[in-house]
Structure 1
Amino acid sequence: MDPQTLLFSLFTPEGRENPFPALEALREAAPVYYDKDLDTYFLTTYKHCQAVLTDAVFRTPDLSWCEEHLPDWRDHPAADFFYSSMLRANQPDHTRLRRLVGAGFTPRRVAALRTAVEDLTDGLLDTFADATAHGAVANFQELVGYPLPVAVVGELIGVPAADRPQFRKLGSDASRLLEPVRTAEDWARADAAVTELRVYFEDLLLRRRSEPREDLATVLLEAQEGQERLTRRELVDTLLLIFVAGFETTTGMLGLLTHALLTHPDQRDLVTGDPELAVQAVEEALRWDTPVQMTERIAAEPAEIGGVRVPAGANVTAVLTAANRDPAQFSDPHRFDVRRSGTKGLSFSAGPHYCLGAVLARLEGAVAVRRLFTRFPGLALAKDPVRRESVSLRVYEDLPLTACGPVPSPERATAVATTTVKD
């Protein structure tokens, strides 16, 4: 197939389900491919993606970019939020925002959440146990995959438990902004969600001014460095960004991780036989089936990528899903191997915009894996899962599981844990 046909196949149901053959073929045919219809350079090698993500020449699309490419951005609250947030800010605003917000993501603060993560996971698994009693089938995402990250980021920020359920739909609607091609419906959903979430976080900050607590909302209110402070709008939008980004991508990770282990029973046995492998299982799942498929940058000046001249102002899309399966970077990249070590995938991006919540997401994944497969040794897929209709995010909407699959004996788990991983 020609490069454009390969690229556009990613937008089909088949391509969304399994993009890897097309991405591999695109990498071999044109590792730096310019598509004139989408006006974007697509990068599919690890080397090129990492270089662009870490090179200051390539900036994120921000409000100044909107002036030329999205002239009606002021009519969209979602665009105002998205392109001015820390996710899209460039220097010097990005450095200032990241420095001030980083006060809420210290190792000590994240480590203090471990007990909360464990308790929240156990509580949700209680609900999952009830739902799967007597051989019943339950949607893992509905009962664990979505509510766990919402609860954890809610604990971090200070969102009361009673308020959290409403955020699933709002977060999903706001995340339509991540799609490379947005419809009028996408904008309408995102605008409505951002408007409602801004009102909520305005109110939460008002409450924290009079009732400070040990949470991120209070930390950000007090955050300052010299004479620098977050503005009122920056405070609201930062909480909004952390909440939405903190659970949407982690939800994707939990579903993909669980599905990967269930469809690779030898790897699952390794993890259950040696719980210490849970951390590596999370890392391998992030590489093998990346929750965020792609991210974009803008060339601030003329540049060259892989021998291809890229003009100033050009849009460049790093396809993280392809980079994480590049055979030049990862041996036998299509193989899911929880004992793979030294993995440095790009699932959390790289460079200045490396995900601020990566440590917390990894903690959630490792805790969930250990507890889920220890408590439900017979866990199995009940039928084919259903993915969200999205090009940017790989998220299961429905992951139907039963807890009554075949139960491996302790002897079998121990034996498998000591063997060499095979194809």
Structure 2
Amino acid sequence: MNGSAADPEGAAEGASAEVRAALEAVFDPGLRADPYGPLAVLREAAPVLYDEESGTRFLTGFADCQAVLAGPDFVVPDGPWLAREHPEWAARPAADFFYASLLGTNGAAHERLRGPLTAVFGPRRAAELSAGVEKVVDELLDRFEDATSDGGAADFQALVGYPLPVAVVGELIGVPRAEQERFHRLGRDAARLLEPVRSDEDWRRADTAVTALREYFTGLLRERRARPAEDLASALLAREGAAGSAPARRVREPAAGPSGGRARPSAARERPPAENGHPLGERELADLLLLVFVAGFETTAGLLGTAVSALLAHPEQAALLRADPGLLPGAVEEALRWDGPVLMAERLAARPTEVGGVAVPAGGSVTAVLGAANRDPRRYPDPDAFLVTRPDVRVLSFGAGPHYCFGAALARLEAAVLLGRLSARFPRLAPAGPPVRRASACLRSFDVLPLAATG
């Protein structure tokens, strides 16, 4: 039951008891393992549903979510929004970081931050990390094998699911292996900023984490200025140092866009080394590394756990994958579609517009429910089935448009390597107890995933 163009909030007043119950169920901790039934009710009965309590319009159809994420009419909540809507947050370190980061900027401010990052870390660079990813996967699976060698169970997420992306992104940035476990904990606390509703405890832990991580990455940048290494911190310093002293130059755009996006024209054009000729400052570079670290393992760890769990729940699909490793890329895409690591993402209308036939005023909030969109039967036949051979899978799990995840290619690489190695080494892998889902309304992940190698 959509609101009309004249009454954009009519959906709230006209929503049936079934629709309201379905919306409440999506946020019910007791249904965290499987919110897709209630989401299907919303998608069918009220694909654009205004919720007065949260002040947002929930979108559950694929086309509507894609239009909001990729189109020019919607932006992310940013610094001006923060100052206008929540000035009480402004003094918080976590808010200062988040609303000035890639996740909380728009337009030229966003491009100024994203440009240096994509210049030194794009899909080609991710592909070059394949050998390193394989090495880490083998080491971690050795640990898992040792832990289950007596026929017992082990927590796969603790031994593999989280350590893998933490090690990969830590090595990429330049964080020594010995320090990565501490950063894992800090990163999880900083990721509380991704929650649609943040408690005082969320803010407290995020503030503490951001302060500690900023301090660390500021120190790392100082070390790399004195002693450059083969890592992202050094590469960003080299690029921004050159940007600060070099004149505008003609550059040739890369063949592929950020994070595996659509290819750009290859014609050279004039472009200054940095936006407006100003390189990123020390705080901006430290915050960029902080974001890469947190984003680089939080959602990837979620993907790894849910992908493994999906295959174990569908042994016939796991058998297909073991018989034909060429299905690995498709299996990763299907895992992202079937139970992706991010359930929803908020946007604001940059100007008066409409979505799904419902008017949205300037500044109006919309929430693209990615999990519902990825199971839209109008986009995917038999959407609740998990099929590693499903054709034409184009998920919204990494977003779309200007805020498409810059690390999507690396996350896909890690998932493909892990699933391939796991299928070959542990053909009898099986669940070994009830898993524990992460206590989050937005992030789809496991805190505990007990598995046995000889189930």
- Place the TM-score, normalised by the shorter chain, in its bin: over 0.9
Shift of 1:2: 3.6
Partner residue, 1:417: none
Residues 19-38 of structure 1 aligned to structure 2 (within 5 Å): 19-38=35-54
Q: Could you say what the CA RMSD is over the residues aligned between the two structures, in angstroms?
A: 1.0
Partner residue, 1:404: 454
The one-letter amino acid paired with 1:6 is: A
The one-letter amino acid paired with 1:73 is: W
Query: CA–CA distance in 1 between the matches of 2:217 and 2:84?
Result: 30
Query: CA–CA distance in 1 between the matches of 2:18 and 2:195?
Result: 23
Higher mean displacement: 142-151 or 2-11: 2-11
Residues 133-172 of structure 1 aligned to structure 2 (within 5 Å): 133-172=149-188
Partner residue, 1:61: 77
The one-letter amino acid paired with 2:196 is: P
Which of 115, 121, 137 aligns to 1:99? It is: 115
The one-letter amino acid paired with 1:189 is: R
Deviations 1:332-376 (A, max 9, x none): 100000001211010000011111000000000000001112111
SS in structure 2 of the partner of residue 297 of structure 1: strand
SS in structure 2 of the partner of residue 318 of structure 1: strand
Residues 208-219 of structure 1 aligned to structure 2 (within 5 Å): 208-219=224-235
Partner residue, 1:290: 340
Q: Is the 8 A contact 1:220 1:230 kept in 2?
A: no
The one-letter amino acid paired with 1:355 is: C
The one-letter amino acid paired with 1:268 is: A
Q: 1:3 to 1:276 in 2, by over 3 A?
A: same
Query: CA–CA distance in 1 between the matches of 2:33 and 2:91?
Result: 34
Shift of 1:11: 1.8
SS in structure 2 of the partner of residue 389 of structure 1: coil
Partner residue, 2:4: none
Partner residue, 1:351: 401
Partner residue, 2:89: 73
Shift of 1:216: 0.6
Q: Is the 8 A contact 1:53 1:350 kept in 2?
A: yes
- Return structure 1 stretches of 4+ with deviation > 6 angstroms: none
Query: CA–CA distance in 2 between the matches of 1:107 and 1:89?
Result: 22
Which of 340, 364, 378 aligns to 2:390? It is: 340
Query: CA–CA distance in 1 between the matches of 2:203 and 2:37?
Result: 31
Shift of 1:56: 1.4
**Unmatched segments (≥5 aa) in structure 2:** 1-16, 244-272
Partner residue, 1:203: 219
* 2:311 matches 1:261: yes
* 2:369 matches 1:319: yes
The one-letter amino acid paired with 1:183 is: S
* 2:412 matches 1:362: yes
Partner residue, 1:241: 291
* 2:347 matches 1:331: no
Q: Is the 8 A contact 2:217 2:286 kept in 1?
A: yes
**Unmatched segments (≥5 aa) in structure 1:** 406-423
Q: Is the 8 A contact 1:103 1:219 kept in 2?
A: no
Query: CA–CA distance in 2 between the matches of 1:3 and 1:352?
Result: 32
Q: Is the 8 A contact 1:58 1:298 kept in 2?
A: yes
Deviations 1:144-182 (A, max 9, x none): 000000000011111111111112211111111111111
Q: Give the percent of matched residue pairs that are identical in Structure 1 and Structure 2.
A: 56
Partner residue, 1:252: 302
Query: CA–CA distance in 2 between the matches of 1:219 and 1:15?
Result: 44
The one-letter amino acid paired with 1:318 is: A
Query: CA–CA distance in 2 between the matches of 1:110 and 1:54?
Result: 23
* 2:354 matches 1:304: yes
Query: CA–CA distance in 1 between the matches of 2:405 and 2:122?
Result: 13
Query: CA–CA distance in 2 between the matches of 1:174 and 1:336?
Result: 32
TM-score computed with the length of structure 1 as normaliser = 0.94
SS in structure 2 of the partner of residue 364 of structure 1: helix
